[in-house]
Structure 1
């Protein structure tokens, strides 16, 4: 019996995500971009030191379809480092890798053009390809990259149908492609087979990828992937790591993204997948990091509505989380619940100063309690004059009557008399 193939699977790097970053003085690049690149460096080192047989990248190398030359260089040399150690790298384009117009080059096609040894770019024209792994054993790779809808559906048909019908047609075409490749790999039952895809699956838990989506989404039904023709299904596109066939064969796995993009991924683990693939059975483990953890996103919720001194309460909350080591080097946002009368007591400058240990402060979000507004009574607001509104507000705010009269007099001097006054 041959040894299992050790295959590293990753996806969705999105080099070029600059939000919350600043210039990194050591490299001249955006500090958040460096987060993504350092994670890719860790992955490359892991693949080399663990002497894996094959690396699979399931799409979305960059944030945009037109990455700048620096980002291309930084991604390329890390991928080439893996290949230079004799480890084949299979790459399938994602939606962020594809140009807006079909037949133009994808962002990763340059590897194929330059014929860099051990790097294989498999697109919709490639079909099932047999790759020789580092140890010499063959493996069948069936690519299902993110499709051009115009290449799947007749142009005239494309214009004539509703978006819902178009989505159904694309799903049908993708299903046919995957099933045809499954029939092809069955003809070589002694060679392990891996389906590599970049698309959404109907039962997958989605996440922040929706916030950075390029183009219309493409869906495939899970039942098409749970096929014994495959020994492993390596997916990209959805950023949340998950196995859609947990506890059964074949594993249908989204590796998830290497780095967090925004607060929608705050609680999600990030990393890559290391598999041991044999014909008919695959085991895998999720690898969260080698040297560097993914950048943490931290939300601090503070309900200050019952506090006499809301600023003091918030600052104490920040200090407690700082003492716990939660804030250091994290991207932090504050979410505050306040009474209307407390809003003016909050100093964003002081809060950001208190969060100086954070990598970045994403914002101070205020949710102002509507309780005071709800106590204005049943009188229509639209039917009240500005002075009447002010008087009612002062009354429900428990302002002393003598102060109300003084404030109303001052307000009338500014606003002017009401039309019937």
Structure 2
């Protein structure tokens, strides 16, 4: 027998866009290619290393109904691996799992077709597969994302634990390794290093996943080993500025001294930068603030082809100098930029902070209307599930 090799990936979020960037625009299409190039790199690695399995731990697409081009490219990616006898084990994540009875995920189409060597799990399940290269048998416990709206924290944890016990108790032929594949928020996981995150999920205890040869997780976009055997692959590309500066990639598992040893494989990403790094560019009280802003942009280094978030502070009467800003950024060959403005009065008290998205309005609405009617935990769940439904119906 040969050496077992597994590539563990997660959180592709194919089809996600940037604020202010239409996916059908030229730059929108280029941004889609940023993600598809990562699939090319993953495929090349899997085939070059002779991996038996590719694991996708949820959130292939950013919505349950991606545009046809993105769906077709993913289907081609899967076929390019499965025809080479690589077996793909994929579970539904937060964005692959419908939230309403009338919704249906496109991922189900691949499942219904019965593509050979492709195994997709929308519900908890277990499967034992024999590697076509190594000949080793792996028992995969597949635990897709479970919506938490109807659960209290202790009930949710108990439900997941019961699913694991039930799957482990099912009759099974002999196997060499047991691998858990999940899409959860586990206790101790770092969500984001630089900014707070409103994930709203109930953290599961690590003890649920300690008994496996490897636990390959998705959902948290930051790559991290929680233990030597429990690991988040992280997302394959930076999704938003909460992931600024994070390395992206996947985890490569290889047999070593009777076990499975994982190592991080980095994927190159388009830079995401916040300008300035801390705080805001102070333009209040400047009569020539357009010239100040233009000169500030000219002084920037390392921003070519980058995605920038520019944070500026203005007086209530100052107008955002959009034309001057655009000219300066184009001269620096910046790929795309997002403007965040804070307007403050004379005593430096915020009187306006621009809200940019429907998601922001929804969160503000729920927190305002239900402030005194829901406990904080229930509030988090309402916002979390509501945002997921909004993304579904988008």
Structures share fold, TM-score greater than 0.5: yes
Kept in 2, the 8 Å contact 1:54–1:134? The answer is: no
Q: Which one has the largest radius of gyration? A: 1
Note the alpha carbon deviations across 1:117-140, whole angstroms, 9 max, x for none: 221223435324334343322111
Distance 2:240 2:164 in 1: 32
Matches of 1:103 and 1:336 in 2, distance apart? Answer: 43
Whether the 8 Å contact between 1:98 and 1:107 is mirrored in structure 2 is: no
Higher relative contact order (CA closer than 8 Å, sequence separation 6+)? 2
1:273 partnered with 2:273: no
Q: CA RMSD in A?
A: 3.4
Give the aligned partner of residue 91 of structure 1: 90
Distance 1:313 1:66, change over 3 A: same
Helix, strand or coil at the partner of 1:111: helix
Q: Hey, what's the Cα distance between the residues in 1 that align with 2:349 and 2:342?
A: 16
Can you list the C-alpha shifts for 1:371-402, whole angstroms capped at 9, x where unaligned? 3779xxxxxxxxxxxxxxxxxxxxxxxxxxxx
Give the match for residue 263 of structure 1: 241
Change (3 A) 1:80 1:284: same
> CA shift at 1:141, angstroms?
0.8
Tell me the SS of whatever aligns to 1:86: coil
Structure 1 alignment gaps of length 5 or more:
151-157, 375-421
User: What secondary structure sits across from 2:299 in the alignment?
Assistant: helix
* Kept after mapping to 2: 8 A contact 1:310/1:346: no
Aligned partners of 2:75, 2:222: CA distance in 1, in Å?
A: 25
2:213 maps to 1:203:
no
* Per-residue deviation, 1:105: 6.1
Q: Structure 1-normalised TM-score? A: 0.71
Q: Which residue of 1 aligns with 2:299?
A: 320
Structure 1 contact 140–193 (Cα < 8 Å) conserved = yes
- Structure 2 length as normaliser, TM-score? 0.75
Instruction: Pick one of 350, 365, 369 that aligns with 2:341.
Output: 365
Q: Residue 124 of structure 1 aligns with which residue?
A: 123
| TM-superposition CA deviations, 1:156-187 (whole Å, max 9, x none) | xx5xxxx6xx2321211101222444566999
Instruction: Give distance in 1, aligned partners of 2:236 and 2:196.
Output: 13
Residues 289-340 of structure 1: per-residue CA shift (max 9 Å, x gap) = 2xxx22221111234569785444433332232xx32x111111211245x3
Contact 1:273 1:285 survives alignment (8 Å): yes
Output aligned runs, 1:376-415, within 5 Å: none
Matched, 1:330 2:303: no
CA contact (8 A) 1:192 1:279 kept: no
Contact 1:15 / 1:62 at 8 angstroms: preserved in 2?
yes
Corresponding position: 1:354 with 2:333: no
Is 2:29 aligned against 1:30? Answer: yes
Rounded Cα–Cα distance in structure 1 between residues aligned with 2:232 and 2:66: 24
Q: Could you say what secondary structure the match of 1:258 adopts?
A: coil
Structure 2 CA distance for partners of 1:58 and 1:23, relative to 1, 3 Å: closer
Using the TM superposition, name which of 275-284 and 67-76 deviates more.
275-284
Which residue matches 2:356? none
For residues 91 and 220 of structure 2, the distance between their equivalents in structure 1, rounded to whole angstroms, comes to: 15
Q: How does 1:15-414 map to 2 (within 5 A)?
A: 15-20=14-19, 21-22=21-22, 30-100=29-99, 106-124=105-123, 126-147=125-146, 166-182=152-168, 188=174, 191-207=176-192, 217=201, 219-227=203-211, 230-245=212-227, 248=228, 251-278=229-256, 281-289=259-267, 293-301=268-276, 302-304=281-283, 309-321=288-300, 324-325=301-302, 327-338=303-314, 340=315, 344=318, 347-356=321-330, 357-368=333-344, 370-371=346-347
